[in-house]
Amino acid sequence: MSEAPYPLDGTSGAQVVPVSDALGGEIRGIDLSRDMGDATFVAIHRAWLRHLVLLFRDQDLSTAGQVAFSRRFGDLDLAPVDEYGRKHREGFPEILVVSNVVEDGEPIGSLGALESKWHTDMSYDERPPRASCLLSVKIPATGGNTGFLNMYEAYETLPPALAGRIRGLTLKHDATYNSVGLLREGAAPVTDVTASPGTSHPIVRTHPETGRKALFLGRRNAAYINGLSVEDSEALLDEIWAHTTHDRFTWHHQWRVGDLLIWDNRCTMHRRDGFDTRSQRIMHRTQIMDDRPPSSGEMP
Ligand code: OGA
Ligand code: MN
């Protein structure tokens, strides 16, 4: 049973409807295509910190509207270079198209129809994005659901002995493969996880806005816990992941056209199911920059 719906402060009639026990809140009664006053945005932001992922349904939002709403959460990154080495779309440098559609022999977007395993966006960067936002433009009849995982809860429920073993450790987040496991532009396959390119971050981070601690795992593939033998690192990572990827920390969203989701990339992971390559899925994505590295919330 999810928590009961409650009014969104600063608005007349808008509501927050928690969507699962684990995380996620649907905001009802807000039209994102209309100008939003600061009081409304402050309430939305507060709900976002509380529920980690917000869902807005039935939105009729232009690309400019998605960019404008995303920008309220912070400065936007330019769309990351995709697996074809392409930079960004004409006219909208902040939008990454996530799609399997091919037009005139050319894929219009990233990630194809492949499954993506649990991950945090671009955690191999020094300052991974604070948030990502997806707006659904076209969706298949089945498949392509996006799941989210509450990394605060994963941390808070660690068996004490396991929590003790990871205290103070840092994890190298591999930069070789993208979220569907394809090699990034110019990268070589990983043969030695201790030597592959990536960035190290504390395995437990403190969220700079909520002060809560969360596990920060990035993704499983080619991850490496610094200072351990590869064997010990693999074994410890397997233990942490077995605990973390438990259903009770997750919520899976089944998309409709016009859904907008924005997730906090500092305290969640996400994944998506693959789907039939004969169907078409088109998502527009923005990414909000973080000015602080994951280590910045660490208390002395
Ligand atoms: C992403 C991502 C999942 C999806 O955009 O970062 O992982 O459902 N997308 O397409
Ligand atoms: Mn992602």
In one-letter notation, the amino acid at residue 219 is: R
Ligand 1, from 81, 83, 124, 146: best to mutate by most atoms within 8 Å of Cβ? 146
CB-based contact 196:189 (threshold 8 Å): no
The CB of 121 under 6 Å from ligand 1? The reply is yes
Helix (H) or strand (E) holding 118: strand 116-119
pTM over 0.95: yes
Q: Is 297 helix (H, G, I), strand (E, B) or coil?
A: helix
| Structure tokens belonging to residue 102 | 């091919």
Give CA 248 to chain center in angstroms.
18
Q: Which residues lie across from 107 on neighbouring strands? A: 102
Question: Which is the closest atom of ligand 1 to the Cα of 146?
Answer: 8
* Statement: residue 141 has pLDDT above 80: yes
For the chain, give every domain's residue range: 6-288
Q: Does domain 6-288 have CATH number 3.60.130.10?
A: yes
pLDDT bracket for residue 300 (50, 70, 90): very low
For the stretch 178-211, pLDDT in tens is 999 999 888 999 999 999 999 999 999 999 999 9
| Structure tokens belonging to residue 254 | 């089944």
CB-based contact 55:19 (threshold 8 Å): yes
Question: Which is the closest atom of ligand 1 to the Cα of 116?
Answer: 7
Report the pLDDT value the prediction gives residue 1, as an integer from 0 to 100: 65
Give the C-alpha separation, 154 to 163, whole Å.
Answer: 11
* Statement: residue 72 has pLDDT above 70: yes
Task: Mark residue 84 as left, alpha or beta (left: phi above 0; alpha: psi -120 to 50; beta: remaining).
Answer: alpha
Give the C-alpha separation, 144 to 164, whole Å.
Answer: 37
Q: Is 107 helix (H, G, I), strand (E, B) or coil?
A: strand
Give the C-alpha separation, 137 to 245, whole Å.
Answer: 29
Report the pLDDT value the prediction gives residue 297, as an integer from 0 to 100: 75
Cα distances from 156 to residues 64, 123, 212, 216, in angstroms, run: 39, 21, 10, 13
Mean pLDDT of 50-71: 98
For the stretch 216-239, pLDDT in tens is 999 999 999 999 999 999 999 999
Report the pLDDT value the prediction gives residue 89, as an integer from 0 to 100: 73
The CB of 82 under 6 Å from ligand 1? The reply is no
The CB of 132 under 6 Å from ligand 1? The reply is yes
Lowest mean pLDDT among 61-75, 85-99, 118-132, 152-166: 85-99
Report the pLDDT value the prediction gives residue 154, as an integer from 0 to 100: 98
Q: What percent of the chain has pLDDT over 90?
A: 91
Mean pLDDT of 87-91: 76
Strands 146-150 and 250-253: antiparallel
Across the chain, mean pLDDT equals 95
CB-based contact 247:128 (threshold 8 Å): no
CB-based contact 12:45 (threshold 8 Å): no
Ligand 1, from 94, 97, 115, 116: best to mutate by most atoms within 8 Å of Cβ? 116
pLDDT bracket for residue 299 (50, 70, 90): low
The CB of 267 under 6 Å from ligand 1? The reply is no
CA quadruple 193, 265, 178, 80: dihedral positive or negative? negative
Give the C-alpha separation, 79 to 124, whole Å.
Answer: 16
Q: Residue 213 burial by CB count (10 A; 0-12/13-18/19+): exposed, middle or buried?
A: buried
Report the pLDDT value the prediction gives residue 298, as an integer from 0 to 100: 63
Higher per-residue confidence, 170 vs 2: 170
Report which protein residue has its CA nearest ligand 1's atom 7. 271
Report the pLDDT value the prediction gives residue 37, as an integer from 0 to 100: 93
Strands 53-56 and 25-28: parallel
The CB of 250 under 6 Å from ligand 1? The reply is no
Give CA 209 to chain center in angstroms.
17
> At residue 118, what are phi and psi to the nearest 5 degrees?
-50, 130
pLDDT bracket for residue 9 (50, 70, 90): very high
Q: What percent of the chain has pLDDT over 70?
A: 99
Ligand 1, from 123, 178, 283: best to mutate by most atoms within 8 Å of Cβ? 283
Lowest mean pLDDT among 34-38, 142-146, 245-249, 286-290: 34-38
Cβ-based neighbours of 276, under 8 Å, separated by 6 or more? 113, 140, 142, 143
Q: Which residues lie across from 271 on neighbouring strands? A: 147
